[in-house]
Amino acid sequence: MQPEPILRIEKLVKRFGQFTALHGVDLDIQEGEFLTIVGPSGSGKSTLIRLLVGIEEPTSGHISLRGKRIETLPANHRPTCMVFQSLALFPHRSVGENIEFPLKIRGDAVGPRRERALALMDLLHLPQDFYDKRINQCSGGERQRVALARALAFDPEILFFDEPLSALDFRLRKNLEKELKDLHARTGKTFVYITHSLEEAMLMSDRIAIMREGGFEQIAVADEIYAKPVSRFVAEFMGEVNLFDVESTGGGGLQGSGLEVQMAPDQLLPELRVPQGGHGALMVRPEAVRFLGPGEAADFALDGVMRAEYALGSRTQYKVEAGDGREIAVEKLREDRFAGRSGDPVRLGWDQGHCHMIVEE
């Protein structure tokens, strides 16, 4: 049985004039969880987080924190806190004064305030002599840490993040993603993180919620979302994917998009079955597709011509043109790269254990 969630969202709606940004979303967030909300621009994720921290008021619906309704509470009366996209550090205050701000507002004495700020600076690997440094003298990564320390000084029940790493360079972002994950483990706090970066979501989160047009498309752990998306949108949003429109030909048979498979009914995995006459999108990720050698077999196979090769660092991606003109993506580790050249005929194959069927109405 699931424990009582720390935050429950029920039928939350937000309208701006004629435009509906959120269409009655429901979500339970468990205590200590790292939940990431991912979605394309305009999907409503920033609106949702602004409602959750109390900067905006919902049009209708409920938000409950530990069972108490908070949707009408203003932001300064909620025990939650947010790290803003712009970080929103006060430029007229030093690093130490920024971190101490929530403690000052709370009326804490000078000594304990400073002590807490220095402890948080230590936790976030900020040197102690940064205490008197001006914000405009700090680098992007240092500012990021100051914003985090300030939010932690507030000691929130839930810490929200609105794409705080989006403005940083790749290397720094990668480091901070790992640090955030470590920080979550060390503090045990509930983190709700918003991003449009799939990699960020995959690296840090316990669960991922995919948003689309003001609603949740799928909420699940990262592996499940990646391997078993509920829709084409989620499948494509979670990275490069090959989707084949197929229909059942009865028993263990599937046909369409250049594929034709006829297996014994008990051989085809149950999760790949489509009702008789029904349609589905057979999904296989590029890393699960193999180049088949002569005499090599696979559950699914098709012939094509090598068209392009893209080096992705540790991996290489290939584009293969299938017989019906569609492009199939294949990804291999650098050491397993394809030996041929562009224009060579190739045979691709994959096993049903690496496939997922998105059944369509």
Partner 1 sequence: MQTGRAARIALYLYGALAIAFLYLPLVSVGFASISKARYLSFPIKRYTTQWYGKALESHTVNDLLWTSLTIAGIVTVVSMVVGFFGALAFARYHWRFRGVFQKLILLPIFFPQAVLGLALLMWFNFVGWIPDWKSAVVAHLVWISPIATLVIAIRAYSFDPALEEAARDLGASTWTILREVTGPLLMPGVVSAGLFAFLLSWGNFPLSLFTTGADSTLPEWLYAKMVSGYSPLVPTVGILSIATSLVLLIIAYGISRLLRSGRDRRQQADG
The residues of the shown chain that bind partner 1, judged by CB under 8 A, are 53-55, 74-76, 80-82, 84-86, 88, 90-94, 96-97, 100-102, 104-106, 110, 113-114, 131-132, 150-151, 154
When the beta carbons of 99 and 225 are compared against partner 1, the nearer one is 99
Closest distance of CB 321 from partner 1, Å: 48
Question: Shortest approach of partner 1 to residue 82 CB, angstroms?
Answer: 5
Please identify, using beta-carbon distances, which residue of 97 and 142 lies nearer to partner 1.
Answer: 97
Shortest Cβ 51–partner 1 spacing (Å):
13
**DSSP structure class, residue 96:** H
Residue count (the chain): 361
- 100 near 153, Cβ under 8 Å? yes
Three-state DSSP at 251 gives coil
Judged by beta carbon, residue 160 or residue 244, the one nearer partner 1 is 160
As measured in angstroms, the least distance from the Cβ of 88 to partner 1 is 4
- In what helix (H) or strand (E) does residue 143 lie, and over which residues does it extend? helix 140-153
Between 105 and 221, name the residue whose CB sits nearer to partner 1.
Answer: 105
Q: How far is the CB of 161 from partner 1 (least distance, A)?
A: 12
Nearest one of 150, 169, 170, 177 to 84, comparing CA atoms: 150
How would DSSP label each residue in 157-191?
SEEEEESTTTTS-HHHHHHHHHHHHHHHHHH--EE
Q: Which is nearer to partner 1, 126 or 198 (CB)?
A: 126
Q: Which is nearer to partner 1, 11 or 104 (CB)?
A: 104
The answer to whether residues 230 and 215 touch, using CB atoms and an 8 Å cutoff, is: no
**Residue 164 Cβ vs partner 1, minimum distance, rounded to whole Å:** 11
- Contacts of residue 17, defined as CB under 8 A and 6 or more positions apart, other chains included, come to none
DSSP 184-242: HHHH--EEEEEES-HHHHHHH-SEEEEEETTEEEEEE-HHHHHHS-SSHHHHHHTS--E
Angle (CA) 111-113-116 rounded to 5° is 110
3-state secondary structure of 140: helix
CB of 191 to partner 1, least distance (A): 16
Question: Which of 102, 253 has the CB closer to partner 1?
Answer: 102
